Structure 1
Amino acid sequence: MNSTQIKCFLSLAKTLNFTQSAHNMYLSQSTVSKNIKNLEKEIQVKLFDRKYHQIILTEKGKIFYNQMVLSAAEIDDTIQNLRQSRNITRPKIKMGYTDLPFEKKWLPVALRLINTQTNLELVPFFVDPGQEQNINKLISDGTIDLMLMQKDIIHEKEETRYQEILKKGFSVVVYQGDSLFVKSSINFHDLANRRVYLWNGHDNFPAIESLKFSMQSSDTDINFHEEIDSSILIAYVRAKMGIGIVPSILYNKDDTDLRYIPLNTEQRLSYGILSLVNSDKKNNINKINQYIAQAINISKTQW
């Protein structure tokens, strides 16, 4: 289905006359007819009833027309807004990101929503995960205006505020062929007599420390080893040296040989947006935050 087919359909639905539509679109009548036939063939729906010297929309054709009119109007509005904004200076909001797999899902959605539906420009700024402890400084000195991050990492200060967007638990990373691979969720007793690598990228993460305490206090003997680098943890799992436990936010859909299976535990990690309390961009940041939350909700269904 292409734009020419849609334009031919919309025109013919209005005129109900091949000759008139061909004239309006500066096309031959045979070209209009061919585009309509190809469209019907592609979507496998009969859009028009053709009788001698008469063309009428079918019931499904009427439904399709109503939807296409709305879509065409939305496309036209978007194009018009983009054209009008070419010579307008759009306020820039710089957002820090660490290139997590989940960010690769929602960030493009957020960019598209914000840069087409607002007068703002969201500018991504890569932050090395190893420098997350300096996020407050990056925000305070204006290097970035906001950042989506894990609350446990933040050293809260009076000049910054944190707005929670979502909470996620932990997942067990299992290699294909492992007996746990087919499970829909994993309990502590499933970890018995297994070598477990527990991701712990920072000292004194409350949620990590709580999870460690729960495992150590359980009736099951769980042999876990802490690993600060998630990529090394994944390499160990792929080498069949054990299984891993990571925050569910680290799930990578591209790891087709692995499964990230939810761990049944009460511990949850909070993820949200950190920004300055008294920023002169406060109103714009609030607007950006709403679109980021919307983009994350959209992306969660495909994550």
Structure 2
Amino acid sequence: MNFTQLHCFVKAVDNSSFTIAAEALNFTQPAVSKNIKDLENELEVTLINRGHHRISLTNAGKYFYKVARNVVDDMDYASEYLKSQKNKVGDLIRIGFSNTPLEQRLMPLVLQKLHQADSKLEIQLVDILTNTVSVLLNHRVDVCVISRDSIDVVGDVKFETLIPGGFVVACPAGSPLSEQEKITLADLKDQKLFMFDPNNSFSFQMQNSLIAQIGLEHIRFVQDFFTMGIYVKANFGLGILPNFIADFENKDVVYVPLDYAGIPPYGLAYIGSVAKDVDISKIIQVFKDAIKATVNN
């Protein structure tokens, strides 16, 4: 006994016709007849009385139809459910972000792609600027975009790289350094520089090493990238910041790579247990696709 035999039997009874059952199942009429006959042979009973124009059930057929109907319905439901789950990302995904210029371009595309992958997925955005690690450990977010050095000390957090890290120098458009392909530490000698305050959430470990080489006398610290951009646009000095924070769409500022050892990458952080609730592999792929589109544009 197999599901095809049960399906043929139920369809034939429902439609009182082998021919109509065959059309509904996309079978030939002889194939439907054979499946039902094989089912009867296996059960060693006659299930259907064959008439010239209509078919009817025997007493055994009436009993077996109830059983077969339940099995077919359960199998159809299971099949439809599994198909609906095939592209399901999850019920809810909470994404932590810091609202940097890159993320302002990235996140709308991420949301669009997640919605395309699973239209029923509920998505919540959470600002993690001041407490990046705690929101992960306290399960306030499922994933967050972040610099890896922010979570390196936490063993339970997994990390997927989206952008290799590197410093860039923010130069006023049209300034001599803005025309260079790369800027060296020697180029920065005697320049007024703006960097992020080591006490804020963008205090990268590699930045501390860079500060030591440049010297504090040339550096003025700012709290955020917006303030840095204002100073640079006003030609008050140059900004030094990670490439994954820079606002490359700003036409008044040119970001030139700094010839300096790479910094920790920017990527997607999450706790392993989140994979129980969402398809983390699909989410990672969505972010990678969105990063490619964002960077290329």
Q: Same fold (TM over 0.5)?
A: yes
Distance, in Å, in 2 between the alignment partners of 1:256 and 1:172 is 15
Q: Identity of counterpart residues, as a percentage?
A: 20
Q: Provide Cα deviations, 1:70-97, integer angstroms capped at 9, x if missing partner.
A: xxxxxxxxxxxxxx99xx9961211111
Match of 1:45 in 2: none
Q: 1:168 to 1:222 in 2, by over 3 A?
A: farther
1:209: which partner in 2? 208
Is 1:194 the counterpart of 2:195 in the alignment?
no
How far off its partner does 1:294 sit? Answer: 1.9
CA distance in 2, matches of 1:269, 1:279: 23
In structure 1, give the amino acid aligned to 2:157.
T
Q: Distance in 2 between matches of 1:207 and 1:235?
A: 24
TM-score (norm 1): 0.60
Listed one character per residue, the Cα deviations across residues 129-160 of structure 1 (whole Å, up to 9, x for unaligned) are 2x1xx333323333211101112222633433
Give the RMSD, CA atoms, in angstroms: 2.9
Structure 1 residue 298 corresponds to structure 2 residue 297: no
Contact 1:91 1:119 in 2 (8 A): no
Question: Which is higher, the Rg of structure 1 or of structure 2?
Answer: 2
1:168 is aligned to 165
Which one of the candidate residues 238, 245, 249 is aligned to 1:250? 245
Secondary structure at 1:241 match in 2: coil
Assess if the C-alpha contact under 8 Å between 2:170 and 2:254 holds in 1.
yes
Distance 1:122 1:289 in 2: 17
* Matching residue of 2:256: 261
**Structure-2 change in CA distance of 1:159 and 1:268 (3 Å):** closer
Matched, 1:289 2:276: no
Note the C-alpha offset of 1:109: 2.2
Check 1:180–1:152 CA distance in 2 against 1; reply closer, same or farther (3 A cut): same
Deviation of 1:108 (Å): 2.3
Check whether the contact 2:147–2:265 (CA below 8 A) recurs between aligned residues. Answer: yes
| Count of matched residue positions in the alignment of Structure 1 and Structure 2 | 210
Contact 2:89–2:279 (Cα < 8 Å) also in 1: no
Match of 1:272 in 2: 267
What TM-score does the superposition give when structure 2 sets the normalisation length?
A: 0.61
Unaligned runs of 5+ in 1: 1-83
Distance 1:229 1:279, change over 3 A: closer
CA, structure 1 residues 213+282, in 2 after alignment: closer, same or farther (shift >3 Å)? farther
Moved more, 103-112 or 287-296: 103-112
Q: 1:159–1:277: 8 Å Cα contact kept in structure 2?
A: yes
**Which residues of structure 2 form unaligned runs of 5+?**
1-83
